[in-house]
Structure 1
Amino acid sequence: MLSIDAIGKRFGEVTALDGCSFNVERGRTLGFLGPNGAGKTTTMRAIFGLVELDTGAVLWDGRPIGPVERLRFGYMPEERGLYPRMRVREQLAYLGRLHGLNARDADAAASEWLTRLGLADRADAKVVELSHGNQQRAQLAAALVHTPELLVLDEPFAGLDPVAVRTLAQVLRDEAARGVAVLFSSHQLDLVEEICEEVAIIDRGRIVAEGNLDALRRASERRRIALRLDGAPPGWEPEIRGADVVERTNGDLRLLVDRDVDPQAVLAAAERTAPVIGFSYGPPSLAELFLELVER
C-alpha cells in the first residue's frame, strides 16, 4: 500500500503541500484531483524522490521508499521523459533492463506492450516521429514494461483520442485487477468517475476530501435534479429557495438543490409549467462535487 503521510513542502513563500495524507491500496485505483497548481504533481514527484519534502513521509507497505522499492514502481510524468531520438522498442527494452529485467524478458515485455497499446507498427520509429497521442502510449508502455507494483500517472489522458482513452482506461482496470496500486491525476472527471471507486481531492496544498467516491457524493450538501419538459417557456426555472439551474439545453434543465429541498416540490412546480417527460434526483456528479469542494 502507498501511504502519503502528512507531507508538506514549501517553495520559498509558496506552500505547495500542507499536511497531505491519503492511501492507495494494492488492487485499487485512486483518482487524484485538484485545480492547476493545487499540489498534485509535487505529490507524485515526492513519491519518486524528485522533490525533497519538508515534513511528513511517503511509505510503501509501511516502510520508507528507497531506490530498491522505486525499481518496482512505474511513473508517467506530465512532462514526458522519453529520449526523443531513440527508437521506441529499443527504448522500452532498455528501460525494462534498468528496472532489473534480463535482455530477453525486456525485449518480450516491450513487444507485448507495443502490441497491446497499438504501437506495434511504430516500434522502430523514433519517439520524435510519433504523434502526440502515440508518444503518450509509448510513455505509458515505459511505465508498465517492468510489471510494476505501483503505477503513478500524471494526466495520462491529456490529448488522447477516444480510442486511446478507451484503451488506457482498460489498461488501468486490468492493472488494478492484477493487484497493482494505481494513482493517477486527471482533469477529465467523467473518466475518473467511470474508472475509480476512490478519489482524493487536493486544493491549495490540502486534501479537502478523500475516500470512496459514492460515499463522498452521498455526503454532499447538494443534490442533482434533471428535468425534461415538453414546451416550457424559455428561461423557466422553479422559484424554490436553494434550487439553482446550472445547465439548460433545448428544454432540458439540470439543477443543484440544497439537501433539504423537497424534490417533489420541484417536480410540482415543473408540472404546473409544462408536461414533465423526464425527472431524476440523486447525489451530485463527481464534477459537481469537485466544484462544491474547491469553490467553498
Structure 2
Amino acid sequence: MITLSHLSKAFGGHQAVSDLSFTLQPGEVLGLIGQNGAGKTTTFRMILDFIQADDGTISWDNHPIDDHLRRKIGFLPEERGLYQKQTVEEQVVYLAQLHGMEKKAAKNALKDWMDRLQVVGEPGDLVQSLSKGNAQKIQMIMALIFEPEFIILDEPFSGLDPVNAAIFMDEIKRLKARGAMIIFSSHNMDNVSQISDQLLMLKKGRTVLQGPVQAIRESFGRTRLYVEAPHLTKSDYLAMAGVIHAEPKDGGYMLTLAYEAAGRQIFEAVTRNGYIPAFSQQPPTLAEIFKTEVSTND
C-alpha cells in the first residue's frame, strides 16, 4: 500500500503541490489528471525522492520508501530519453540488472516484451534506428521488465496512435491483474476512464476531484441524454423543458439537460408515438468534467 499524507511542495513563491493525500492499494490503478503545471510530475518526483517534499509523508506499507523499496518501482518519465548509440538490449538489460534481475533472465524477458508490445526491431538494433513509437515502447519495457510492484507512468500514451495506445493499456491491465500498484498521468480522458479505479485531479497543486471514476461522474448528475427519435427535430428538443442544448450525433441528438429529472419528462414525450431506437441518459464524460473544472474560477 502506497500512502501520501498531506504532501506539499513549493518552488519559491509558487505552490506546486498543496496538502495532497491519497492511498494506492495492490491491484489498483490511480489516474492523476490536471492541466500542464498542475503538480502531477512534481508529485511523481517526490515519490521517487528526486526532490524533497516541504511537508507531509510518503510511505509503502507504513514504511518510508528506502533504496531497497525503490528498486521495486518502475518509472516511465514524461521526458523520453534513451542512449541513441547503444543497442536496445544493452540499455534494457543494464537497467533490469540495477533492479535485481539476472542478465540472462533479462535478455530472455526482453524478447517476450518486444513481442507483446509489438516492437518493430531486434534486441541488437541501435536505438537510433528505431521509430519514435518503437523507442517509446522500449522505454516502457525498461520501466516494466523487472515486474515492479509499484509503477509510475508519466504520460505513457503521449504520441501513440490508437492501436499502440491500446497495446499499452492492455499491458497496464495485465500488471494490475498481477497485483501491481499503478499511478499514471494522462491528458486523454478516455484512457483514464477505461483503466482507472480511482481518479485524482489537481488544479494549481490542489486536489479538486478525488474518488472512483464512476462516482465522480455520477456526482455531476445525469445531464447528458442521447436520443434517436426520427420524427423529432432540433427545434422540438429545444422546446422541451430542461433542455439547454441539442447537438446532432450519430443519427440522433445529444441533449444537455439543466437538471437530471428532465429526462423522465423527455422520455414520455419522445415515446408518445411508440418505439424509438435509442434513449440513454448518462452523467457527463470525464473530458467534459475536466473542461468544467479547468474553466471554473478559484
Q: TM-score, with normalisation over the residues of structure 1?
A: 0.90
The equivalent of 2:283 in structure 1 is: 283
Question: Could you tell me whether the CA contact under 8 Å between 1:226 and 1:253 is conserved in 2?
Answer: yes
Give the letter aligned to residue 8 of structure 2: G
How far, CA to CA, are the matches of 1:217 and 1:6 in structure 2? Answer: 25
Specify the alignment match of 1:257 in structure 2: 257
Q: What residue in structure 1 maps to residue 33 of structure 2?
A: 33
Q: Percent identity, aligned pairs only?
A: 35
CA displacement at 1:174 relative to structure 2: 0.5
On the 8 A contact 2:154/2:185 being kept in 1, the answer is yes
Q: Which residue of 1 aligns with 2:245?
A: 245
Answer with 87-96 or 281-290: which moved more: 281-290
The code of the aligned residue for 2:179 comes to G
> Alpha-carbon deviation of 1:253?
2.4
After TM superposition, list the pairs within 5 Å mapping 1:201-240 onto structure 2.
201-230=201-230, 232-233=232-233, 237-239=237-239
> Map of 1:44-193 to 2, 5 A cutoff?
44-119=44-119, 121-193=121-193
Residue pairs, 1:11-26, within 5 angstroms: 11-26=11-26
Residues in 2 aligned to 1:258 and 1:234: alpha-carbon distance in whole angstroms: 16
Structure 1 match to 2:42: 42
Question: How big is the shift at 1:231?
Answer: 5.8
- What's the offset of the Cα at 1:66? 1.9
Contact 1:199–1:210 under 8 Å retained in 2: yes
CA distance 1:246–1:200, shift in 2 (3 Å): farther
Preserved contact between residue 27 and residue 178 of structure 2 (Cα < 8 Å): yes
- The 1:250–1:43 alpha-carbon spacing in structure 2 relative to 1, beyond 3 Å, is same
Is the deviation greater in 202-211 or in 280-289?
A: 280-289
8 Å contact kept, 2:223–2:260: no
Q: Could you tell which deviates more after superposition, 163-172 or 112-121?
A: 112-121
Q: Is the 8 A contact 1:238 1:269 kept in 2?
A: no
Is the 2:120–2:134 contact (alpha carbons within 8 Å) kept by the matching residues of 1?
A: no
Q: Secondary structure at the match of 1:121?
A: coil
In structure 2, relative to structure 1, the CA distance for the partners of 1:231 and 1:195 (3 Å cut) is: same
Q: Once the two structures are superposed, what CA deviation does each residue of 1:76-121 show, in whole Å capped at 9, x if it has no partner?
A: 0110132222111111001001112222222222222222212263
Query: In 2, are the aligned partners of 1:156 and 1:186 still within 8 Å (CA)?
Result: yes
Q: For the structure 1 residues 118 and 25, does the alpha-carbon distance in structure 2 shift closer, same or farther, using more than 3 Å as the test?
A: same
CA deviations over 1:156-200 (Å, ceiling 9, x no partner):
111112221121111001001111001111111112212222211
Moved more, 161-170 or 251-260: 251-260
Gaps in structure 1 of 5+ consecutive residues: none
C-alpha distance in structure 2 between counterparts of 1:73 and 1:143, whole Å: 8
C-alpha spacing 1:93/1:247, structure 2 compared with 1 (3 Å)? farther
**Bigger mean CA offset, 25-34 vs 112-121:** 112-121
DSSP 3-state at the match of 1:136: helix
Letter in 1 for 2:22: F
Letter in 2 for 1:216: I
How many pairs align? 296
Q: Distance in 2 between matches of 1:203 and 1:247?
A: 30
